Amino acid sequence: MQMRVGIIGSGIGALASAIELTKLGLEVTVFEANDVIGGKIVEQRIGNFRFDMGPSVFTEPHLVQELLLALDPQQTFPYHQLDESCRYFFNDGQQVNIPIHKEQVAHTLASSLGEDSAKSLGFLHQMDANYKAIYPVFIQISLHRWRHLIGFPLLKALRRIFKYGLHLTMNKQNRQFFKNPKTIQIFDRLATYNGSSPYLAPAMLNIISQLEFNEGPALPVGGMVQITRRAQQLAQQFGVKFHTNERVLEILHQHNNITGLKTTNANYDFDLVVSNMDIHYTYEQLLPTVKAPGFLLKQEKSSSAVVFYWGVNRSFDQLGVHNIFFASDYQAEFKAIFETKTLHPDPTVYIHISSKVETADAPAGKENWFVMVNAPINVGQDWDSEIQLLRKRILSKLTKQLNVEIEDCIECEQINEPRLIDARYSGKQGSIYGNASNNAFSAFLRHPNFSKKIKGLYFAGVTVHPGGGIPLAINSAKIVARCVQEDYPSLRK
């Protein structure tokens, strides 16, 4: 008889887990509380515009391709490889478009920001080497099972230990390599990719620049939603069952063994359970009788976001797919997010415009703007008034920078914010990535991909090891599959 697996949630970590476990011959059922599969990677049409509602940055597309190939060797995953990483706008009026590939990036930093080209290239080479050394140790395997760690990859990573800047924050390391505050700000921004502050996050996270600048971002043909849509279609093709509008209420277990799931519709028997739900809520809501790992769950939570989805009635040649309008005082903005839990009066504004390459996402001559500001988690702020004020500040900032009255360009609008992120996606207090990485030991302070107390219980997604973002969520599913094979030797191939 096939072992049966129940998966909670349907984000990319859940869908990747479904595919990986189906590949092992298990019978998989996925439960989604909302009416559509995909977690945060879903789309919505507002008026004549299409929007990806969640993640907008797509790196390491080969991971999605490999995921699909795991079940079907005929699968392909078409995407656009972008020729620039981002366009940066500063309050003094300067604009810098950063291309991809080390040499071009170093040249642009020298010509536009006065950096030493050789030193910039050296930094990018170092981050490339760091990334390749750390990837098989910190991202592809569990940090919580010694058998995963022992071997040549660990020795290779340890040989570079003095290259990681273990005693530095991201900002301090960036200040060692670059002299222009604008350049430092560009590299510091990468901390936001997992909801952290560059003034607190360890320098190790500067390896993100390998994906952002050396390899560069991509965009799936059809938008970000194709990542989860294709994964769901393939999983269904190979027998995975999906239940939408069915919330899991409790993870059932007896004598420290998984027995099933209780949902709003019924009780189900399962041999294994994988939770893709925020790890905080997994314990608080679904495991009421199990003592939670308090030390891990009490770590500072990642940032949240306020997003305006604007259908804009004209096109802007000076904008690309990814655009950043920086705050003048970046450190003050992060202090507001993480210390006072407020929105800074001069926020950094990110605009994603998929219609720049996916022209069907907006009518001809118009654009779909995904306008995001990093925000604190919800601790009871008056969000209605805060968001109204934020909207005015964003419009003022963009109007000044683009020399167009942006308010007059908006045809349609929808808003997402911390309370809605909590309610719809079960991100505790609106946190997007679970715990922040505002700690030198953050890599070791994420929950394992398996339960040490309940046999048959596993965890995937952005709130557990190895961390936030689509690539890491996919890797979490691979780790889950490996742990399952180790725990149930009959499944080994």
- For residue 117, being part of any structural domain is answered with yes
Q: What average pLDDT does the segment 283-291 reach?
A: 96
Distance CA 177, CA 418 (A): 35
Report pLDDT for 255.
96
Shared-domain flag, residues 444 and 295: yes
Shared-domain flag, residues 374 and 473: no
Report pLDDT for 484.
97
Shared-domain flag, residues 240 and 165: no
Query: Residue 154: pLDDT above 80?
Result: no
- For residue 432, being part of any structural domain is answered with no
Query: Residue 158: pLDDT above 80?
Result: no
Worst-scoring range by mean pLDDT, 6-10, 127-131, 357-361, 374-378? Answer: 127-131
Q: Sheet of 248-254: strands edge to edge?
A: 248-254, 257-263, 267-269
Shared-domain flag, residues 249 and 188: no
Q: Could you tell me how far CA 385 lies from the centroid of its own chain?
A: 28
- For residue 355, being part of any structural domain is answered with yes
Report pLDDT for 26.
97
Report pLDDT for 143.
86
Report pLDDT for 150.
72
Name the domain count of the chain: 3
Shared-domain flag, residues 295 and 307: no
Query: Residue 160: pLDDT above 90?
Result: no
Q: What average pLDDT does the segment 39-61 reach?
A: 97
Give the total residue count for the chain.
493
Q: What is the 3-state secondary structure (H, E, C) of 5-70?
A: EEEECCCHHHHHHHHHHHHCCCEEEEECCCCCCCCCCCEEEECCEEEECCCCCECCHHHHHHHHHC
Q: What average pLDDT does the segment 1-14 reach?
A: 95
- For residue 52, being part of any structural domain is answered with no
Shared-domain flag, residues 178 and 284: no
Span 360-394, pLDDT tens digits: 999 999 999 999 999 999 999 999 999 999 999 99
Report pLDDT for 164.
79
- For residue 467, being part of any structural domain is answered with yes
Query: Residue 92: pLDDT above 60?
Result: yes
Residue 172: give the domain boundaries.
101-213
Could you say which of 400, 425, 450 is where a domain stops? 425
Query: Are 5 and 258 within 8 A, CB to CB?
Result: no
Q: What average pLDDT does the segment 461-480 reach?
A: 96
Span 432-460, pLDDT tens digits: 999 999 988 887 789 999 999 999 999 99
Span 163-179, pLDDT tens digits: 778 889 999 999 999 99
- For residue 80, being part of any structural domain is answered with no
DSSP 387-429: HHHHHHHHHHHHHHHHTS-GGGGEEEEEEE-HHHHHHHH--GG
- For residue 91, being part of any structural domain is answered with no
Per-residue CA distances from 216 to 105, 363, 390, 413, 460 (Å): 11, 27, 30, 30, 26
Q: What average pLDDT does the segment 246-274 reach?
A: 98
Shared-domain flag, residues 332 and 313: yes
The pairs formed by 65-69 with CB atoms below 8 angstroms and a separation of 24 or more are 67/16, 67/19, 67/20, 67/231, 67/474, 68/19, 68/230, 68/231, 68/234
Query: Residue 493: pLDDT above 70?
Result: no
Query: Residue 245: pLDDT above 70?
Result: yes
Could you say which of 159, 191, 213 is where a domain stops? 213
Report pLDDT for 179.
97
Query: Residue 138: pLDDT above 90?
Result: no
Report pLDDT for 152.
57
Q: What average pLDDT does the segment 9-37 reach?
A: 97
- For residue 169, being part of any structural domain is answered with yes
Shared-domain flag, residues 198 and 120: yes
CATH of residue 241's domain is 3.50.50.60
Shared-domain flag, residues 132 and 193: yes
Shared-domain flag, residues 307 and 421: yes
Could you say which of 213, 243, 272 is where a domain stops? 213
pTM: 0.96
Residue 138 or residue 253, greater confidence: 253
CA atoms within 13 A on the CB side of 64: 24
Q: In the 8-state DSSP scheme, what is residue 222? A: T
Query: Residue 472: pLDDT above 60?
Result: yes
Shared-domain flag, residues 346 and 359: yes
Q: Could you tell me how far CA 279 lies from the centroid of its own chain?
A: 15
CATH of residue 417's domain is 3.30.519
Report pLDDT for 440.
83
Shared-domain flag, residues 308 and 387: yes
Residue 256, SS3? Answer: coil
Average pLDDT, the chain: 95
Report pLDDT for 145.
84
